[in-house]
Amino acid sequence: MEIIPAIDFKDGKVVNLKQGQPEQSTTYSDDPVGMAEHWVSKGCERLHLVDLDGAFDGQPRNAEAINTIAKNHPSLKIQLGGGIRSAQVIESYLDAGVDYLIIGTKAVQEPEFVGEMCKRFPGHIIVGLDGLHGMVAINGWKEVTDISVESLARLFEDDGIDGIVYTDIGKDGMMGGVNMHATKNLADSVNVPIIASGGVSNIKDIEALLEAGERLSGGITGVITGRALYEGTLDLEEAIALCRHFTPNK
């Protein structure tokens, strides 16, 4: 399982939003490019970037900084979400060195778009499913649909997606622990790798995800963490070492 530090962009800064609410924003840095350098220096091999402005506006807003990070770290795996709603945007970011594009709102509004993009850009498409009480939210989490996370995940299972980033909105940015029940249920219901997101608070959450991932269909292949790293309640180097040397309980 990979530990994936998150860099959320808003107004050119590195921020964290509690439960996706812009009015509950904490700024951690004015230098996203430097922050990426910091996490790489700590052993990060995969980075999760979110263009929050792009998510709210429906189109990229922080492309320059994102492209610079990709250029500076060609061996770093980068996954990007926020405003990914056209083939042109996907192609542009792939050309810049981003490895995976996360389709969220567009996947809900036009499910066929996911399959089309998987055919056009095989191995580079991830679906982002953001859930509140089990239901999918879109448009920067401003709108909650009547579609369940699990039913939508099954819809994309055969499209050739590289994975699903599942975020529990109620947990996101709250550092209250991962929603293990929902994450495990999702991972066990589809044969697609799941990247968990939302609620990581300390090393015990990483241990719990590692244990759970050993017993599930598609498996939990990664976990995204933001606030816990920035607040210092989770040490990135310790978490990476745990994943590398993890032995499941029998």
Q: Is 162 a catalytic residue?
A: no
Per-residue tokens: 77 = 């795996």
Q: How far apart are the first and last CA of the chain?
A: 18
* pLDDT greater at residue 91 or residue 16: 91
Model's pTM, two decimal places? Answer: 0.94
Q: What is the pLDDT of residue 170?
A: 76
Express each pLDDT in 188-232 by its tens digit.
Answer: 889 999 999 988 999 999 999 998 877 654 589 999 999 999 999
Q: For this structure, is 95 an active site residue? A: no
The pLDDT tens digits of the residues spanning 154-169 come to 999 999 999 999 998 8
pLDDT at 218: 57
User: What pLDDT sits at residue 248?
Assistant: 74
pLDDT band at 171 (very low <50, low <70, confident <90, very high): confident
Q: How many residues does the chain have?
A: 250
Q: What is the pLDDT of residue 175?
A: 72
Least confident of 18-22, 99-103, 219-223: 18-22
Residues 6+ apart with CB under 8 A from 104: 55, 81, 84, 127, 128, 129, 130, 138
Catalytic, out of 99, 130, 162, 168: 130
In tens, the pLDDT along 106-119 reads: 999 999 999 999 99
Q: Average pLDDT, whole number, for the chain?
A: 92
Q: Is 127's pLDDT higher than 70?
A: yes
